[in-house]
Amino acid sequence: MAAQTHLFQVGSFNFEVKHFLVIGILILSFSISFLIRSQNINYGFELNEFDPFFNFRATEYIIENGFSEYFGWHDAKSWYPNGRDVSATSQVMLHVTAAITYQIFGGNLSLYDFTILFPVIIGSLTVIVIFALVRLFGGLTAGLFASMLFAVSLPIVLRGTAGWFKSEPLGIFYGLLGLYLFLSGIKSENKKIAILKIVFGGIVMSFGLASWGGNQFFIIPIGFFILSLPFVRKDHKFLFWSIPLFTATFLLMTSMFERPGPNFVFGLGGFSLIIPTIFLMVCILIQKISKEENKIRNSLILLVSIILIGSFFITTSAESDFLPLPSFRYLNAINPFLTTTNPLVDSVSEHATTTLSQSFFLHSVLMIFSGLGVWLILSKKINHAKIFVKNDMKAFVLIMGMTGVYVSSAFIRLEVFASISLIILSSICLSYLTTEIFKTKSLENKNYLLKISYVVIITILLIVPILFPVNGNWISAVDIPPTILNGGTVYPAGNDWLETLEWIKMNTPQDAIIASWWDYGYWITTMSERTTLADNATIDSKQIQNIAQIFLNSPDESWNMLRGMNVDYVVVFVAAQNLDVNYEGKPLYVMGGGGDESKKQWFMRIAEVTLSKYLHTDGMSGTEYFWNETLLGKMIPFTTLAYHNFQNQQQSETFKPGFSEISIKEIKYHSDEDPLKLVYASSSFINENNSPITGVFVYEINKNYVPIIS
């Protein structure tokens, strides 16, 4: 049989039919992943979301100035007047990796275009990495299933589309690659190869952590896995030096980066590896000197002691701050029951807690197959199939599954870890089922019918969430325009922001200082090359609070604050839907599509003002005080005309619960006598058509204005 499948030989390696099948499936997985991730290019070839614009600018700085200048770069165009120490507050390896790969593979592409494609290529290449990783656990078939499932996994694809030049795609690539090298190293029987893999595994894992802070959640299953090793493996001499080698390499490399740096090494993250490593070494020594019947008992006593002491240590540290702890959002992932009183953290949509319906939509049938995978591993049925999941790998798979699902329950951004865990477990399950169904070579019709039925059922189960329902499946969920084309609103793509940013670049002084809500800081700094007060790095929460207060104070008070901060222009963004109805010749609009008019309640919480003064009881509609007495109310070029209930078609001159604001266009600041003057309005506001408005408005500070402050 082997002679029949042998095709040709390269060196000492014999190519067989199965090798081409593996290559074909991996190419197919890469291609599917690439196509799904590239859908938003149809709307426009632009970077997506907000952070990618800063990451592009930082990568561009490396290309133009070199690495030494980058590591000493203090960016004066952001967070005016203090600026930003870039290498100490950024995902350095994302910028470094992109700069190096661009210099090697960039060709004739502009850097901007290269960074748009970078997450698509890196994310699609990760199908090969997860294939290799899962192959360690469940064999070749499981690895192939993993590559195909990873290619279409919605939580992973959503955070790696074209233009998503952010941390996750590269962080996951490095994290899974480092995990593969580490686990492959401790499985290797060749000690020289084992050393190389373990060392490179630690280095690559540190690269992952310097690319994305979320990669520290890979540390959790590794730490628990190390704790389990003395109980599931017998080659204690090998473990005694190999595990400390990995821990030392990883922590040493991590300490060399400014972020996460020494604070991580000597904080909760580093101790999550140091303590399990010390436990492993002490446990091995205890087992060596203990009697055979007392080895397990003594080891368990030590383990329980470590857990109790560690819990006490962490609790004490949280109260006394002698051990550096991660930021709240990472602690919240470790303990989902924590709650925050910080509205700035709560205002970020990706920090929202995942609901059960969202989890089912994101993972669908993988939740079923992963459950079966856990049952198969625990029932030891896999031992009877051609899937060799050894005890240590079983322990890691189960630990990875539990921790991945656990940390993802905190907020939706971390669903990528649940997806990775479910993919691993589902792949092992599908591999076992496939092996069992196809292991018989009988020619009986009933066996063929069973195999065909199995293939059809599994194919349908896996394809349904990808294609159905038509407008709510895994593929259509990714088919959305880049944020800069619609401002993150619910409306179709347009050029309002691109036109505005170009206008700012061409029509304002180069040293102009621009205030806006922090969402738009990266766009203004990168595309318009102007200095901003705040951006998506959220480095200074006090600065963001000051901006919120500027928007909500009286115009005269806000003018004083803006002048005190040397601001020259203020940018606001408003989304509204044309109702295709006129009142005395004026079109009517309903606001609330995702602009600053929809974010004002967060401005209020961050500014720590009394909500009832600014908002009606629905928590969205502005009061007369908001519209007439605040700077933001005056800068939004709409005036409330009446209120309408769209369910029963009733109108009201005053607000009632269940009624929405109906507005008309009205520019309130347009003369030289006002504290601010509108100098630019984007095209969707100016055009008289029935399209939605995603209007960007630039106001110039009237420096000759004389405020009246009581």
Residues 582-635: tens digit of each pLDDT? 988 899 999 999 999 999 999 999 999 999 999 999 999 999 999 999 999 999
Same domain, 138 and 225: no
Q: Would you state the structure tokens that stand for residue 514, as one six-digit string? A: 């621009």
Q: Are residues 235 and 100 in the same domain?
A: no
123 in a domain, yes or no? yes
In a domain, 268, yes or no: yes
Confidence category of residue 289, pLDDT binned at 50, 70, 90:
confident
Q: Looking at the 3D structure of the chain, how many domains does it have?
A: 3
Among the ranges given (181-190, 333-342, 373-382, 497-506), the one the predictor scored with the smallest mean pLDDT: 333-342
Q: What value does the mean pLDDT take over residues 13-27?
A: 86
Residue type, position 79, single letter: W
Residue with tokens 């614009």: 53
If asked whether residues 580 and 686 sit together in one domain, one would say yes
| Final residue before a domain boundary, out of 296, 324, 352 | 324
Computed over every residue of the chain, the mean pLDDT equals 90
User: Do 222 and 153 have their domain in common?
Assistant: no
User: What gap in Å lies between CA 530 and CA 528, rounded to an integer?
Assistant: 5
- Shared domain check, 592 and 694: yes
What pLDDT score was predicted for residue 334? 59
Shared domain check, 205 and 124: no
pLDDT: which is higher, 284 or 347 = 284
Whether residue 161 is found in the same domain as residue 196: no
Residues sharing a CB contact under 8 Å with residue 630, sequence separation 6 or more, in sequence order: 551, 552, 553, 554, 555, 614
What are residue 583's DSSP bridge partners? 586
pLDDT digits (tens, 9 = 90+) for 138-195: 889 999 999 999 999 999 999 999 999 999 999 999 999 999 999 999 999 899 999 9
CATH at 558: 3.40.50.12610
Residue-wise pLDDT for 629-649, tens only, equals 999 999 999 999 999 999 999
pLDDT band at 48, cuts 50/70/90?
very high
CA distances from 123 to 259, 338, 525 (A): 23, 32, 27
Last residue of a domain, one of 165, 182, 206: 165
Strands (E) in 25-109, as ranges, are 74-75, 84-85
Q: Does residue 249 share a domain with residue 112?
A: no
pLDDT at 1 over 60: no
Instruction: Let me know if residue 187 belongs to a domain.
Output: no
What pLDDT is recorded for position 3? 44
Sequence length of the chain is 710
Whether 708 shows a pLDDT value over 90: the answer reads: no
Q: Are 508 and 524 in contact (CB under 8 A)?
A: no
Which range, of 16-30, 153-167, 432-446, averages the lowest pLDDT?
432-446
Asked whether the predicted pLDDT for residue 402 surpasses 80, the reply is yes
* CA proximity to 314, closest of 488, 322, 215: 322
In this structure, is residue 11 part of a structural domain? Answer: no
Q: Is residue 461 part of a domain?
A: no
Q: What is the DSSP letter of 42?
A: G
Q: Looking at the structure, do residues 116 and 202 belong to the same domain, yes or no?
A: no
Domain annotation covers residue 56: yes
Final residue belonging to a domain, choices 324, 341, 365: 324
Instruction: Give the integer Cα–Cα distance in Å for 385 and 392.
Output: 18
Average pLDDT over residues 190-204: 97
Inter-residue contact 150 to 127 (CB < 8 Å): yes
Closest CA to 362 of 152, 148, 155: 155
Indicate if 509 and 617 belong to the same structural domain: yes
Both 107 and 216 in one domain: the answer is no
Identify the residue whose tokens are 């420096």: 703
Task: Report cis status (omega within 30 of 0) of the bond before 707.
Answer: no
Residue 254 domain flag: yes
Report the chain's terminal Cα–Cα distance, integer Å: 94
Residue where the block lists tokens 């709560």: 346
For residue 471, pLDDT over 90 is answered with: no
Tell me the residue range of the domain where 61 lies.
Answer: 22-165
Which of 401-415, 433-447, 587-601 has the lowest average pLDDT?
A: 433-447
Predicted pLDDT of residue 314: 61
| Cβ-proximal residues to 75 (8 Å cutoff; 6+ apart), any chain | 83, 84, 85, 86
Tell me: do 86 and 137 sit in the same domain. yes
Name the band, by pLDDT with cuts 50, 70 and 90, for residue 341: low
pLDDT in tens, 295-330: 778 888 888 888 777 766 666 655 555 566 666 555
Q: Does 469 map to a domain?
A: no
